[in-house]
Structure 1
């Protein structure tokens, strides 16, 4: 619908730095929507509400039938009148304004009540989006705008086929007493024992899917939501005509987070969308950052407002969506100012004149200054996962969801509570002057990488465990440099010396042979399945058919793996690498549902598999010239160098560039130098270098 010439609404400049525009809805329940804008000053404490919503399609469609899907455009092609002139807004905002035009004091299915103020602040209408200086200024004060509002009104979108059942499930979950969340539940949502233990009525499978669809609406993954909810004094939630309590949404999400229900619902919902999906040991069991538990994350952040820093906020922001990648930083800055730890010499403000790479670099500098160390390096993803190609190597790509777990955890451990301090004894100071291209660092050049094994994906999907075993088989000496055995360094490194969230001990050592056994079992299963495909396929394949080539290749992998296991189990008799007969016995127990040993074996395998996944995802095993063993980012190359840098609690792998500068490859766990060992000793000298 075209706008007649001369009738488009024109914004007048705001009179002061604390001025805002507020919208008054003048129309009733029917279109056309009529409204008016008036200017107010935050210093005068005006009475108003704020709208929190998403510009694009608000619904999650993957669990809906084709006949139930109504897609919403994010184009601003819906016309309303403002002070007699035309404003263009998105379809979802139009639906929100229509709902707010109606009498919203009663609820069709929810439990909330809401009486709106005369005025409401809505970003798309109250900010002149085409005026970059004004946009910068208003975005910088959004935390104050939302904090001053009487109520933040959350608009989740129109009601759909899932809404009524989802609200019923939400109400049931939010009624569960906190003490019942500590019970161990059966791993099946269809098991009546789940509901008896929680004290709630049975939830039908379709109702669970309805609830999953509700929690995966777009609003729950929108990055601006974090700040809008964080500073809100009061929150009311609309889903169509349903007025919901925020406490019900966040509490029910907490139930998912603190019990097995979140993981179970994730599996059920994922399988419903993709029936061929199978949960494996490499699948995340915590589902960090998934929208099913985002409401709990929001509420948890509100409760921990005084302990937040920019680094934590940037970590959280990576699990949310933004139409403009710069907003993954800008949407969080207001929350940083709310924190009592705001004590930084370098400030960053929203400025859309800078491109995404510049914004991310500025945010990283600000984080380094605020935290007074270089542990930001632990948030840098492997180069293969980066989307922005022109970022400095030491700057995380905040536009991508992390694919690896930082070695020291995320968020980092409190001061003095971390497991490692590789640079203990080295002094680091914040650089005096910011440079958007180069970062000066100082540290110990420790050793050079000469050999490495397969990635996690290659080990899981291509059964290349033999590359891990080969690295151990090639180990040239009988003792590890720090005095232990090569096998001890090997298994501890593969799980970053961490088991069930703690320092790995005898329990982890006893469970590690299961890791080897189950990898062999997966290889045998893949080989048998491929043989069956060839045996029963019609017409029969004839060489050089691809299936035959794959079978030959996989058979070679099997032979190499068996030979490596046999060689290592003979050479090292400590049981870390079990012999072939022991492996076959473990596999036999694992397949015997009646075996009394199976339960313990399954439990131990789950724990060691999770420890390996957390440590090794996105990384690979390596050996250095001095025969140290470690893991680092999977894009490493021969000749990359292990450094211990002042200000970084874990070692770092760097690559020398032709111009003499260096680039960051990734953080590293290197067995034997995690607590200052590389820094101490005669003749150790530090060097100053530049990172690009």
Structure 2
């Protein structure tokens, strides 16, 4: 018989029949969770782990973390007592600690002209303005976004201090004067930093992607490919790069200048040793095959998509390292309108340190006034100093000027602006006709290679432009340019129109033969499926053209060809104020299903009918 207790005999046959086995007594026969009858007994929780139970160390870390955050609630909040002006800026000294300890920072002053210490800069994504996490700054409670808290925990060292510049902490965000001044010296802060850390945050297979990038080589030998496939098989590699491009960092406007102005960049995919260079990042995106789709794919169809952003930023970085300021308004418009910012003024101010803009950062001025002045600065600059300074060709200058017009339009504006002024805060939401959205990514781009690679194949306005000038008036600036009024829109529809071209030519909606019958069936030009997404179809009155435009065009609007422009535009006639002007409101760019229109045959034959129009 197996013994059940070392202190008791196996047999229940005791010599004394009056003795009772203690195992049959009350204390052994039942277990009760009720403490009645045991008032004097105090139960003490035992934190020691049971056999086969989970290690409670993670629980203890969470308890300590909650305890540290609870203690911060009773700490006095931090207040900025001095103004960062002149050549001075604040620098954060991140004290060492483990992953559970409260983030502690000490602010010190540093000179942007001649820094006496080596420091780093943090480039991260705000994601939200809600500051729902606490740290300690100079011994006081400081509220930060949860994303920044995670980034600081990631870069903090266990036994060594880290000197780092973080905009959310080192700039008094509530002081507009200080913000504007610090933006003006941002170039020096980033230029003289030892390193800029691009913190993308944790994502699936981020560490593997960094390892993959470091082992990539220029040659595509079988041994190299075999090594890479062991790290990340092809399908996992495609998914990992896709997740990389979907990180919120790629949607923010300020990160553009932060990396372009940096001397050295390290991209962090979650912290620790998961780091790679910008060149590694470019290599990953370049080697990833584009997704094939017959419909509207936002990642590929819109201007400012992640791959295109990387291509533009890479070219801008090369220009900055060569000591050249940036003058390509097309690139800035694509990046700004495709980015997010907590303040709409930042869509312009984020590029202040990289351009020749004469507008000083001022967060108290109106957004409308800022956008109008910026558009005027670039139009005047392209025609004057930029052209000579960069030796821009006439084709490049014309394309940049027209990109301002194509990026504008009353149907693409949130703010009350002249119709020819781009609204930097209005994001791209339709696949463009005037530009390509797929860029060729190269680590060392050639001069003006971007303009050549992204210009569309259409030449609706011919190769030469005429008038293109700003007219200052009491009612606000206007833009005068040369155009051919092609036809008047008579009907619009959201579905594909029934009339289609045939061997007899185009027919108008009334069914009568149009004067465009001289164009054969081969003149018909189909738009891409991505271009159709979100567009409105229209018919014109006399020539019976069928086209696509932004929703909001109406019967009575006119179709126009801008001399030197690549695609047609839709204008809305306004009552003339005098006989010398023909004022119009620019609505949007458009597409006409006619090769003769889109490739310049119409404008070449009707050049003499061009006239000056005024956009208000």
C-alpha distance in 1, partners of 2:348/2:273? 31
Q: How many residues align?
A: 496
Q: Structure 1 residues 134 and 639 mapped into 2: Cα distance closer, same or farther (>3 Å)?
A: same
* Contact 1:377–1:666, Cα closer than 8 Å, also in 2: no
Whether 1:119 aligns to 2:149 is no
SS at match of 1:480: helix
Question: For residues 91-135 of structure 1, what are the alpha-carbon distances to aligned partners after superposition, in whole Å with 9 as ceiling and x for unaligned?
Answer: 33233333433249xxxxxxxxxxx88532111111111111111
C-alpha distance in 1, partners of 2:148/2:101? 13
C-alpha distance in 1, partners of 2:403/2:314? 25
> Which residue pairs with 1:392 in the alignment?
418
C-alpha distance in 1, partners of 2:529/2:244? 33
TM-score by length of 1: 0.61
SS at match of 1:286: helix
Whether 1:635 aligns to 2:560 is no
* Contact 1:445–1:641, Cα closer than 8 Å, also in 2: no
What are the residue-to-residue correspondences of 1:486-635 with 2, within 5 Å? Answer: 487-489=521-523, 491-492=524-525, 494-495=526-527, 611-614=528-531, 618=535, 620-627=537-544, 631-635=548-552
> Which residue pairs with 2:332 in the alignment?
313
> Which residue pairs with 2:485 in the alignment?
446
Whether 1:263 aligns to 2:291 is yes
Q: Of the candidates 117, 123, 129, which is equivalent to residue 52 of structure 1? A: 123
* Contact 1:253–1:292, Cα closer than 8 Å, also in 2: no
Whether 1:148 aligns to 2:192 is yes
Q: Of the candidates 257, 281, 290, which is equivalent to residue 295 of structure 2? A: 281
Q: Structure 1 residues 293 and 438 mapped into 2: Cα distance closer, same or farther (>3 Å)?
A: closer
> Which residue pairs with 1:88 in the alignment?
143
C-alpha distance in 1, partners of 2:561/2:294? 35
> Which residue pairs with 1:167 in the alignment?
207
What are the residue-to-residue correspondences of 1:227-376 with 2, within 5 Å? Answer: 227-247=257-277, 251=280, 254-260=283-289, 262-263=290-291, 280-283=294-297, 286=300, 289-291=304-306, 295=310, 298-303=313-318, 305=320, 306=324, 309-335=328-354, 337=355, 342=356, 347-372=358-383, 374-376=401-403
C-alpha distance in 2, partners of 1:287/1:327? 25
What are the residue-to-residue correspondences of 1:174-213 with 2, within 5 Å? Answer: 175-178=215-218, 203=233, 209=239, 212-213=242-243
* Contact 1:367–1:376, Cα closer than 8 Å, also in 2: no
SS at match of 2:105: strand
Higher helix content, 1 or 2: 1
Deviation at 1:376, TM superposition (A): 2.9
* Contact 2:196–2:265, Cα closer than 8 Å, also in 1: yes
SS at match of 1:263: coil
Deviation at 1:422, TM superposition (A): 1.9
SS at match of 1:242: coil
C-alpha distance in 2, partners of 1:647/1:175? 47
Once superposed, what is the RMSD of the aligned Cα atoms?
A: 4.2
> Which residue pairs with 1:100 in the alignment?
155
Q: Structure 1 residues 330 and 446 mapped into 2: Cα distance closer, same or farther (>3 Å)?
A: same
C-alpha distance in 1, partners of 2:456/2:236? 45
Question: For residues 502-561 of structure 1, what are the alpha-carbon distances to aligned partners after superposition, in whole Å with 9 as ceiling and x for unaligned?
Answer: xxxxxxxxxxxxxxxxxxxxxxxxxxxxxxxxxxxxxxxxxxxxxxxxxxxxxxxxxxxx
* Contact 1:318–1:402, Cα closer than 8 Å, also in 2: no
C-alpha distance in 2, partners of 1:390/1:664? 13
C-alpha distance in 2, partners of 1:323/1:416? 31
C-alpha distance in 1, partners of 2:306/2:611? 45
* Contact 1:423–1:650, Cα closer than 8 Å, also in 2: no
Gaps of 5+ in 1: 58-73, 105-115, 184-194, 265-278, 459-463, 496-610
Question: For residues 297-348 of structure 1, what are the alpha-carbon distances to aligned partners after superposition, in whole Å with 9 as ceiling and x for unaligned?
Answer: 543542355575232122123333222233222222323x2xxxx5xxx623
SS at match of 1:152: strand
C-alpha distance in 2, partners of 1:436/1:151? 49
* Contact 2:507–2:544, Cα closer than 8 Å, also in 1: no
Bigger mean CA deviation after superposition, 172-181 or 352-361: 172-181
Deviation at 1:387, TM superposition (A): 6.2
TM-score by length of 2: 0.68
Question: For residues 567-602 of structure 1, what are the alpha-carbon distances to aligned partners after superposition, in whole Å with 9 as ceiling and x for unaligned?
Answer: xxxxxxxxxxxxxxxxxxxxxxxxxxxxxxxxxxxx
Bigger mean CA deviation after superposition, 230-239 or 655-664: 655-664
> Which residue pairs with 2:79 in the alignment?
9
Whether 1:23 aligns to 2:75 is no
* Contact 1:642–1:652, Cα closer than 8 Å, also in 2: yes
C-alpha distance in 2, partners of 1:421/1:371? 22
Q: Structure 1 residues 467 and 676 mapped into 2: Cα distance closer, same or farther (>3 Å)?
A: closer
Whether 1:684 aligns to 2:601 is no
Gaps of 5+ in 2: 1-69, 384-397, 438-449, 578-582
* Contact 1:78–1:91, Cα closer than 8 Å, also in 2: yes
SS at match of 2:83: coil
C-alpha distance in 2, partners of 1:646/1:233? 42
SS at match of 1:124: helix
SS at match of 1:314: helix
Deviation at 1:154, TM superposition (A): 2.4
SS at match of 1:466: coil
Larger Rg: 2
> Which residue pairs with 1:420 in the alignment?
459
Deviation at 1:687, TM superposition (A): 3.4
